[in-house]
Protein backbone atom coordinates (compact mmCIF):
# COMPACT_ATOMS: atom_id res chain seq x y z
CA UNK A 1 0.00 0.00 0.00
CA UNK A 2 1.27 3.48 -0.82
CA UNK A 3 2.15 5.69 2.11
CA UNK A 4 -0.11 8.74 2.28
CA UNK A 5 -0.27 11.72 4.56
CA UNK A 6 -3.01 11.30 7.11
CA UNK A 7 -2.49 14.63 8.80
CA UNK A 8 -5.28 17.18 9.15
CA UNK A 9 -4.59 19.77 6.45
CA UNK A 10 -3.68 23.11 7.94
CA UNK A 11 -5.56 24.93 5.20
CA UNK A 12 -8.86 23.30 4.12
CA UNK A 13 -8.86 22.09 0.52
CA UNK A 14 -10.78 24.41 -1.82
CA UNK A 15 -14.28 23.20 -2.73
CA UNK A 16 -14.60 20.97 -5.78
CA UNK A 17 -16.74 23.58 -7.52
CA UNK A 18 -18.51 26.85 -6.95
CA UNK A 19 -22.01 26.21 -5.68
CA UNK A 20 -24.71 26.77 -8.28
CA UNK A 21 -26.43 30.12 -7.77
CA UNK A 22 -29.93 29.38 -6.50
CA UNK A 23 -32.64 31.35 -4.80
CA UNK A 24 -32.90 30.84 -1.06
CA UNK A 25 -35.87 29.49 0.83
CA UNK A 26 -36.29 29.14 4.56
CA UNK A 27 -37.43 25.79 5.95
CA UNK A 28 -38.07 26.99 9.48
CA UNK A 29 -34.68 28.09 10.78
CA UNK A 30 -32.80 26.11 8.08
CA UNK A 31 -31.88 28.09 4.98
CA UNK A 32 -31.89 26.05 1.76
CA UNK A 33 -30.23 27.40 -1.37
CA UNK A 34 -28.59 30.73 -2.01
CA UNK A 35 -25.22 29.48 -0.82
CA UNK A 36 -26.51 28.11 2.52
CA UNK A 37 -24.69 24.99 3.74
CA UNK A 38 -26.09 21.80 2.22
CA UNK A 39 -28.53 20.37 4.77
CA UNK A 40 -29.30 16.73 5.55
CA UNK A 41 -32.84 15.51 5.86
CA UNK A 42 -34.73 12.30 6.38
CA UNK A 43 -38.27 11.01 6.73
CA UNK A 44 -40.01 9.28 9.59
CA UNK A 45 -41.26 5.72 9.17
CA UNK A 46 -43.87 5.86 11.95
CA UNK A 47 -47.56 6.52 11.45
CA UNK A 48 -47.69 10.28 11.77
CA UNK A 49 -50.94 9.98 13.72
CA UNK A 50 -48.94 8.15 16.41
CA UNK A 51 -47.59 11.38 17.82
CA UNK A 52 -45.46 9.79 20.55
CA UNK A 53 -43.70 7.36 18.23
CA UNK A 54 -43.19 10.03 15.58
CA UNK A 55 -41.71 12.51 18.06
CA UNK A 56 -39.50 9.76 19.46
CA UNK A 57 -38.15 9.00 15.99
CA UNK A 58 -37.68 12.70 15.29
CA UNK A 59 -35.66 12.97 18.52
CA UNK A 60 -33.45 10.07 17.35
CA UNK A 61 -33.03 11.71 13.97
CA UNK A 62 -32.15 15.02 15.60
CA UNK A 63 -29.55 13.28 17.75
CA UNK A 64 -28.02 11.71 14.63
CA UNK A 65 -27.59 15.14 13.02
CA UNK A 66 -30.73 15.37 10.89
CA UNK A 67 -31.62 19.00 10.16
CA UNK A 68 -35.03 18.72 8.49
CA UNK A 69 -37.56 15.90 8.87
CA UNK A 70 -40.45 14.95 6.61
CA UNK A 71 -43.57 13.15 7.77
CA UNK A 72 -46.16 11.48 5.57
CA UNK A 73 -49.70 12.77 5.78
CA UNK A 74 -52.07 10.36 4.01
CA UNK A 75 -55.08 10.58 6.39
CA UNK A 76 -57.07 13.07 8.42
CA UNK A 77 -55.65 11.55 11.63
CA UNK A 78 -52.15 12.31 10.35
CA UNK A 79 -53.16 15.87 9.45
CA UNK A 80 -54.62 16.29 12.95
CA UNK A 81 -51.29 15.26 14.48
CA UNK A 82 -49.21 17.81 12.55
CA UNK A 83 -49.66 20.78 14.87
CA UNK A 84 -48.35 18.92 17.92
CA UNK A 85 -45.52 17.34 15.99
CA UNK A 86 -44.47 20.64 14.40
CA UNK A 87 -44.58 22.36 17.78
CA UNK A 88 -42.65 19.72 19.70
CA UNK A 89 -40.09 18.71 17.08
CA UNK A 90 -36.60 20.09 17.62
CA UNK A 91 -36.06 20.34 13.87
CA UNK A 92 -38.31 21.76 11.11
CA UNK A 93 -41.06 19.41 9.95
CA UNK A 94 -42.17 19.06 6.34
CA UNK A 95 -45.57 17.50 5.68
CA UNK A 96 -45.59 15.16 2.69
CA UNK A 97 -48.95 15.32 0.96
CA UNK A 98 -50.42 13.84 -2.18
CA UNK A 99 -53.72 14.77 -3.73
CA UNK A 100 -55.83 16.24 -0.91
CA UNK A 101 -55.72 20.04 -0.71
CA UNK A 102 -57.39 19.97 2.73
CA UNK A 103 -54.27 18.35 4.20
CA UNK A 104 -52.09 21.00 2.58
CA UNK A 105 -54.10 23.73 4.26
CA UNK A 106 -54.00 21.76 7.53
CA UNK A 107 -50.20 21.44 7.34
CA UNK A 108 -49.75 25.14 6.65
CA UNK A 109 -52.11 26.05 9.50
CA UNK A 110 -50.36 23.53 11.77
CA UNK A 111 -47.12 25.45 11.44
CA UNK A 112 -45.19 22.92 9.37
CA UNK A 113 -41.97 24.45 8.11
CA UNK A 114 -42.75 23.36 4.54
CA UNK A 115 -45.07 21.15 2.55
CA UNK A 116 -44.16 18.68 -0.14
CA UNK A 117 -46.95 18.62 -2.66
CA UNK A 118 -47.20 18.49 -6.41
CA UNK A 119 -49.73 21.00 -7.66
CA UNK A 120 -50.34 18.81 -10.72
CA UNK A 121 -51.94 16.20 -8.47
CA UNK A 122 -54.02 18.85 -6.75
CA UNK A 123 -55.12 20.35 -10.06
CA UNK A 124 -56.21 16.97 -11.32
CA UNK A 125 -58.48 16.20 -8.37
CA UNK A 126 -59.59 19.54 -6.99
CA UNK A 127 -58.11 22.66 -8.53
CA UNK A 128 -57.22 24.73 -5.49
CA UNK A 129 -53.66 25.53 -6.51
CA UNK A 130 -54.31 29.27 -6.34
CA UNK A 131 -55.62 29.02 -2.77
CA UNK A 132 -52.67 26.85 -1.76
CA UNK A 133 -50.24 29.37 -3.24
CA UNK A 134 -51.97 32.15 -1.33
CA UNK A 135 -52.05 30.26 1.98
CA UNK A 136 -48.40 29.27 1.65
CA UNK A 137 -47.48 32.84 0.78
CA UNK A 138 -49.43 34.24 3.72
CA UNK A 139 -47.77 31.85 6.18
CA UNK A 140 -44.30 32.01 4.62
CA UNK A 141 -44.43 28.26 4.03
CA UNK A 142 -42.22 27.01 1.20
CA UNK A 143 -43.26 24.10 -0.96
CA UNK A 144 -41.23 21.24 -2.35
CA UNK A 145 -42.26 19.95 -5.71
CA UNK A 146 -41.14 16.35 -5.77
CA UNK A 147 -41.16 14.58 -9.11
CA UNK A 148 -40.53 10.84 -8.94
CA UNK A 149 -39.91 8.49 -11.82
CA UNK A 150 -42.46 6.07 -10.36
CA UNK A 151 -45.30 8.58 -10.37
CA UNK A 152 -44.56 10.53 -13.52
CA UNK A 153 -47.44 12.15 -15.34
CA UNK A 154 -48.99 9.73 -17.88
CA UNK A 155 -48.89 12.45 -20.53
CA UNK A 156 -45.09 12.73 -20.16
CA UNK A 157 -44.63 8.98 -20.07
CA UNK A 158 -46.43 8.80 -23.41
CA UNK A 159 -44.40 11.65 -24.83
CA UNK A 160 -40.98 10.34 -23.74
CA UNK A 161 -41.70 6.60 -23.53
CA UNK A 162 -40.22 6.35 -20.02
CA UNK A 163 -39.00 8.51 -17.15
CA UNK A 164 -36.07 10.15 -18.95
CA UNK A 165 -34.19 13.13 -17.49
CA UNK A 166 -36.05 15.37 -19.95
CA UNK A 167 -39.41 13.96 -18.85
CA UNK A 168 -38.63 14.44 -15.16
CA UNK A 169 -37.47 18.01 -15.72
CA UNK A 170 -40.40 18.91 -17.95
CA UNK A 171 -42.73 17.59 -15.27
CA UNK A 172 -41.00 19.54 -12.49
CA UNK A 173 -40.97 22.82 -14.41
CA UNK A 174 -44.61 22.38 -15.37
CA UNK A 175 -45.48 21.79 -11.72
CA UNK A 176 -43.53 24.89 -10.73
CA UNK A 177 -45.31 26.94 -13.40
CA UNK A 178 -48.66 26.12 -11.78
CA UNK A 179 -47.48 28.02 -8.72
CA UNK A 180 -45.59 30.68 -10.66
CA UNK A 181 -48.76 31.73 -12.45
CA UNK A 182 -50.04 32.77 -9.01
CA UNK A 183 -46.82 34.62 -8.21
CA UNK A 184 -45.57 31.91 -5.82
CA UNK A 185 -41.88 31.05 -6.10
CA UNK A 186 -40.99 29.90 -2.61
CA UNK A 187 -40.18 26.50 -4.03
CA UNK A 188 -37.54 23.80 -3.98
CA UNK A 189 -37.56 20.92 -6.40
CA UNK A 190 -36.52 17.28 -6.55
CA UNK A 191 -36.44 15.01 -9.62
CA UNK A 192 -35.77 11.56 -8.24
CA UNK A 193 -35.04 8.35 -10.05
CA UNK A 194 -33.72 5.04 -8.78
CA UNK A 195 -31.01 4.99 -11.44
CA UNK A 196 -28.17 7.34 -10.41
CA UNK A 197 -27.23 8.01 -14.05
CA UNK A 198 -30.73 9.17 -14.99
CA UNK A 199 -31.00 11.06 -11.73
CA UNK A 200 -27.69 12.91 -12.22
CA UNK A 201 -28.62 13.90 -15.75
CA UNK A 202 -32.06 15.07 -14.62
CA UNK A 203 -30.63 17.32 -11.93
CA UNK A 204 -27.98 18.69 -14.29
CA UNK A 205 -30.69 19.63 -16.76
CA UNK A 206 -32.92 21.08 -14.07
CA UNK A 207 -30.03 23.09 -12.64
CA UNK A 208 -29.55 24.75 -16.02
CA UNK A 209 -33.22 25.53 -16.48
CA UNK A 210 -34.20 27.16 -13.20
CA UNK A 211 -32.75 28.84 -10.14
CA UNK A 212 -34.82 27.01 -7.54
CA UNK A 213 -32.90 25.27 -4.77
CA UNK A 214 -32.63 21.55 -5.40
CA UNK A 215 -33.36 18.68 -3.04
CA UNK A 216 -31.21 15.72 -4.10
CA UNK A 217 -32.41 12.16 -3.78
CA UNK A 218 -32.03 8.78 -5.41
CA UNK A 219 -35.44 7.31 -4.88
CA UNK A 220 -35.89 3.69 -3.78
CA UNK A 221 -32.11 3.43 -3.60
CA UNK A 222 -32.36 0.07 -1.91
CA UNK A 223 -31.00 -1.66 1.19
CA UNK A 224 -28.27 0.08 3.20
CA UNK A 225 -25.21 -1.09 1.26
CA UNK A 226 -26.57 -0.56 -2.25
CA UNK A 227 -28.45 2.60 -1.32
CA UNK A 228 -25.41 4.12 0.32
CA UNK A 229 -23.29 3.55 -2.77
CA UNK A 230 -25.94 4.78 -5.19
CA UNK A 231 -26.52 7.91 -3.14
CA UNK A 232 -22.83 8.61 -2.59
CA UNK A 233 -22.08 8.24 -6.30
CA UNK A 234 -25.01 10.35 -7.47
CA UNK A 235 -24.73 13.07 -4.83
CA UNK A 236 -20.98 13.09 -5.23
CA UNK A 237 -21.28 13.71 -8.97
CA UNK A 238 -23.78 16.53 -8.52
CA UNK A 239 -22.37 18.20 -5.43
CA UNK A 240 -18.90 18.16 -6.97
CA UNK A 241 -20.40 20.28 -9.76
CA UNK A 242 -21.97 22.62 -7.22
CA UNK A 243 -25.49 21.24 -7.74
CA UNK A 244 -27.66 20.47 -4.71
CA UNK A 245 -28.85 22.42 -1.70
CA UNK A 246 -30.31 19.77 0.59
CA UNK A 247 -29.99 15.99 0.48
CA UNK A 248 -31.99 12.97 1.51
CA UNK A 249 -30.43 9.54 1.34
CA UNK A 250 -33.21 6.97 0.91
CA UNK A 251 -32.39 3.59 2.41
CA UNK A 252 -34.42 0.54 3.31
CA UNK A 253 -32.95 0.97 6.78
CA UNK A 254 -33.69 3.01 9.92
CA UNK A 255 -33.84 6.72 9.02
CA UNK A 256 -30.98 7.66 11.37
CA UNK A 257 -28.75 5.56 9.06
CA UNK A 258 -29.77 7.78 6.16
CA UNK A 259 -28.63 10.81 8.11
CA UNK A 260 -25.26 9.29 8.97
CA UNK A 261 -24.66 8.48 5.32
CA UNK A 262 -25.73 11.96 4.23
CA UNK A 263 -23.41 13.63 6.72
CA UNK A 264 -20.54 11.39 5.68
CA UNK A 265 -21.09 12.25 2.01
CA UNK A 266 -20.95 15.97 2.78
CA UNK A 267 -17.85 15.55 4.93
CA UNK A 268 -16.13 13.48 2.26
CA UNK A 269 -16.75 16.20 -0.31
CA UNK A 270 -15.45 18.90 2.00
CA UNK A 271 -18.92 20.47 2.18
CA UNK A 272 -19.04 19.98 5.91
CA UNK A 273 -16.25 20.11 8.42
CA UNK A 274 -14.78 16.70 9.11
CA UNK A 275 -15.04 15.49 12.69
CA UNK A 276 -13.65 12.45 14.40
CA UNK A 277 -12.06 10.39 11.68
CA UNK A 278 -10.71 6.87 12.13
CA UNK A 279 -8.16 6.25 9.40
CA UNK A 280 -7.49 2.53 9.29
CA UNK A 281 -5.44 0.59 6.81
CA UNK A 282 -7.19 -2.13 4.79
CA UNK A 283 -4.73 -4.71 6.14
CA UNK A 284 -2.67 -6.99 3.92
CA UNK A 285 -0.33 -9.95 4.16
CA UNK A 286 2.07 -7.89 6.27
CA UNK A 287 -0.43 -7.19 9.03
CA UNK A 288 0.66 -8.41 12.44
CA UNK A 289 -2.58 -7.55 14.17
CA UNK A 290 -6.29 -7.92 13.40
CA UNK A 291 -6.78 -4.43 11.93
CA UNK A 292 -10.53 -4.79 11.40
CA UNK A 293 -11.11 -5.73 15.01
CA UNK A 294 -8.79 -3.01 16.25
CA UNK A 295 -10.46 -0.35 14.07
CA UNK A 296 -13.93 -1.50 15.16
CA UNK A 297 -12.98 -1.41 18.81
CA UNK A 298 -11.39 2.03 18.57
CA UNK A 299 -14.40 3.33 16.61
CA UNK A 300 -16.79 1.96 19.23
CA UNK A 301 -14.68 3.32 22.05
CA UNK A 302 -14.66 6.81 20.56
CA UNK A 303 -18.30 6.83 19.49
CA UNK A 304 -19.88 10.15 20.35
CA UNK A 305 -16.61 12.07 20.39
CA UNK A 306 -17.32 15.50 18.99
CA UNK A 307 -13.99 16.99 18.04
CA UNK A 308 -12.10 17.02 14.72
CA UNK A 309 -9.61 14.34 15.64
CA UNK A 310 -7.87 12.03 13.19
CA UNK A 311 -6.93 8.64 14.63
CA UNK A 312 -4.79 6.27 12.54
CA UNK A 313 -4.96 2.51 13.08
CA UNK A 314 -2.22 0.75 11.11
CA UNK A 315 -1.57 -2.95 10.86
CA UNK A 316 2.20 -3.21 10.60
CA UNK A 317 5.51 -1.50 11.09
CA UNK A 318 6.30 -1.16 7.38
CA UNK A 319 4.08 1.77 6.51
CA UNK A 320 2.39 2.07 9.86
CA UNK A 321 4.78 4.31 11.77
CA UNK A 322 5.13 6.86 8.99
CA UNK A 323 1.40 7.10 8.60
CA UNK A 324 0.44 6.98 12.25
CA UNK A 325 2.92 9.75 12.87
CA UNK A 326 0.98 12.06 10.51
CA UNK A 327 -2.31 11.77 12.38
CA UNK A 328 -3.29 13.48 15.63
CA UNK A 329 -3.10 10.11 17.26
CA UNK A 330 -2.14 6.73 15.90
CA UNK A 331 -0.90 3.24 16.41
CA UNK A 332 1.51 1.15 14.36
CA UNK A 333 1.34 -2.47 15.38
CA UNK A 334 3.90 -5.25 15.18
CA UNK A 335 5.49 -8.07 17.14
CA UNK A 336 2.64 -8.16 19.62
CA UNK A 337 3.07 -4.48 20.47
CA UNK A 338 1.71 -1.11 19.42
CA UNK A 339 3.68 2.09 19.09
CA UNK A 340 1.40 4.93 20.11
CA UNK A 341 1.93 8.28 18.41
CA UNK A 342 0.53 11.62 19.50
CA UNK A 343 1.03 14.60 17.20
CA UNK A 344 3.89 12.89 15.43
CA UNK A 345 5.79 11.68 18.51
CA UNK A 346 5.99 8.14 19.87
CA UNK A 347 4.73 8.55 23.39
CA UNK A 348 4.76 4.90 24.40
CA UNK A 349 4.83 1.30 23.26
CA UNK A 350 2.19 -0.95 24.74
CA UNK A 351 1.34 -4.66 24.49
CA UNK A 352 -1.25 -5.49 21.84
CA UNK A 353 -3.89 -6.13 24.50
CA UNK A 354 -3.55 -2.52 25.69
CA UNK A 355 -3.66 -0.76 22.31
CA UNK A 356 -7.37 0.01 22.29
CA UNK A 357 -7.60 1.33 25.82
CA UNK A 358 -4.44 3.40 25.37
CA UNK A 359 -5.71 4.99 22.15
CA UNK A 360 -9.04 5.80 23.76
CA UNK A 361 -7.34 7.26 26.80
CA UNK A 362 -5.06 9.45 24.69
CA UNK A 363 -7.92 10.46 22.39
CA UNK A 364 -9.92 11.60 25.42
CA UNK A 365 -7.01 13.73 26.59
CA UNK A 366 -6.62 15.39 23.18
CA UNK A 367 -10.39 15.86 22.86
CA UNK A 368 -10.55 17.50 26.26
CA UNK A 369 -7.83 19.92 25.22
CA UNK A 370 -9.58 20.61 21.90
CA UNK A 371 -12.86 21.26 23.67
CA UNK A 372 -11.11 23.70 25.98
CA UNK A 373 -9.69 25.34 22.87
CA UNK A 374 -13.20 25.66 21.45
CA UNK A 375 -13.57 22.91 18.81
CA UNK A 376 -17.19 22.53 17.65
CA UNK A 377 -19.40 19.46 17.82
CA UNK A 378 -20.06 16.98 15.01
CA UNK A 379 -20.39 13.42 13.82
CA UNK A 380 -17.71 10.76 13.77
CA UNK A 381 -16.50 9.49 10.44
CA UNK A 382 -14.68 6.32 9.49
CA UNK A 383 -12.28 6.22 6.56
CA UNK A 384 -10.41 3.21 5.28
CA UNK A 385 -7.20 4.35 3.66
S1 LIG B 1 -0.66 -4.02 7.21
FE2 LIG B 1 -1.74 -2.11 6.81
S3 LIG B 1 -0.17 -0.53 7.12
FE4 LIG B 1 0.92 -2.49 6.89
S5 LIG B 1 1.42 -2.54 4.71
FE6 LIG B 1 -0.49 -3.72 5.00
S7 LIG B 1 -2.08 -2.20 4.58
FE8 LIG B 1 -0.21 -1.01 4.91
**4 pLDDT above the threshold of 60:** no
Res 383 pLDDT > 80: no
Task: Say what the pLDDT of residue 345 is.
Answer: 85
The whole-number pLDDT of residue 310 equals 87
Segment 177-229, tens digit of pLDDT: 999 999 999 999 999 999 999 999 999 999 999 999 999 999 988 899 999 99
Q: Has residue 287 got a pLDDT over 90? A: no
CB 187 within 8 A of CB 145: yes
pLDDT tens per residue across span 294-327: 999 999 998 878 788 889 998 887 776 677 677 8
Protein residues with CB under 6 Å of any ligand 1 atom? 1, 281-284, 286-287, 314-316, 318-320
Digit-coded pLDDT (tens) for 222-266: 899 999 999 999 999 999 999 999 999 999 999 999 999 999 999
Residue 294 CA, ligand 1 centroid: distance in Å: 13
Q: By percentage, how much of the chain surpasses pLDDT 70?
A: 91
Task: Please choose from 291, 316, 317, 333 the residue to mutate so as to test ligand 1's pocket, defined by most ligand atoms within 8 A of CB.
Answer: 316
Query: CB neighbours of 378 closer than 8 A, spacing ≥ 6?
Result: 65, 272, 273, 274, 275, 276, 306, 307, 308
Q: Which of 279, 315, 385 for a ligand 1 pocket mutation test, highest count of atoms within 8 Å of Cβ? A: 315
Q: Is the pLDDT of residue 111 over 50?
A: yes
> Cα(332) to centroid of ligand 1, in Å?
9
Task: State residue 12's pLDDT score.
Answer: 58
Closest Cα partner for 362 from 384, 341, 385?
341
Task: Give the C-alpha separation, 131 to 118, whole Å.
Answer: 14
Q: β-pairing, 114-116 with 93-96?
A: parallel
Cα of 333 from ligand 1 centre, angstroms: 10
Ligand 1: nearest atom to the Cα of 320: 3
- In this structure, the number of other CB atoms found within 10 A of the CB of residue 224 comes to 16
Pick the range with the lowest mean pLDDT from 47-61, 95-109, 132-146, 309-323. Answer: 309-323
Residues in the chain: 385
Distance separating alpha carbons of residues 363 and 373, to the nearest angstrom: 15
Per-residue pLDDT band for 384 (boundaries 50, 70, 90) equals very low
For the segment 39-66, the average pLDDT, to the nearest whole number, is 97
Q: What pLDDT shows up at residue 123?
A: 67
Q: Which residue has the higher pLDDT, 51 or 219?
A: 51
Residue 1 CA: which ligand 1 atom is closest?
8
Query: Which residue did the predictor score with more confidence, 16 or 258?
Result: 258
Mean pLDDT of the chain: 89
Residue 237 near residue 342 (C-beta atoms within 8 A)? no
The band of 279, judged by pLDDT with boundaries at 50, 70 and 90, is confident
pLDDT digits (tens, 9 = 90+) for 144-177: 999 998 888 889 999 999 999 999 999 999 999 9
Q: How far apart are CA 343 and CA 270, in angstroms?
A: 23
Q: Distance from the CA of 385 to the center of ligand 1, in angstroms?
A: 10
pLDDT at residue 7 tops 60:
no
Position in ligand 1 atom list of the atom nearest CA 285: 6
| Strand 345-351, strand 39-43: pairing | unpaired
Span between the terminal Cα atoms of the chain, in Å:
9
**Whether pLDDT at 10 is above 60:** no
Report pLDDT digits (tens) over 360-381.
Answer: 999 999 888 888 876 544 444 4
CA-closest residue to ligand 1 atom 6: 284
Average pLDDT of the residues in 336-342: 90
Amino acid sequence: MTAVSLGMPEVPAPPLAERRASRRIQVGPVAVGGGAPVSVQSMTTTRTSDIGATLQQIAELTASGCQIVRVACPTQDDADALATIARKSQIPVIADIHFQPKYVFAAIEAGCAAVRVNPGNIKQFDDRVKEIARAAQDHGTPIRIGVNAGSLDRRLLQKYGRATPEALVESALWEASLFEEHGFRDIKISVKHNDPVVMVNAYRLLAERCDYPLHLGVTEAGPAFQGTIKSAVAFGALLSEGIGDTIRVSLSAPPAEEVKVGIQILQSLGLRERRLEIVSCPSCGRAQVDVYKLADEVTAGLDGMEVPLRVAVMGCVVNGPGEAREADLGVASGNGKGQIFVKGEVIKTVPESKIVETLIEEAMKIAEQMEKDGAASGEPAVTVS
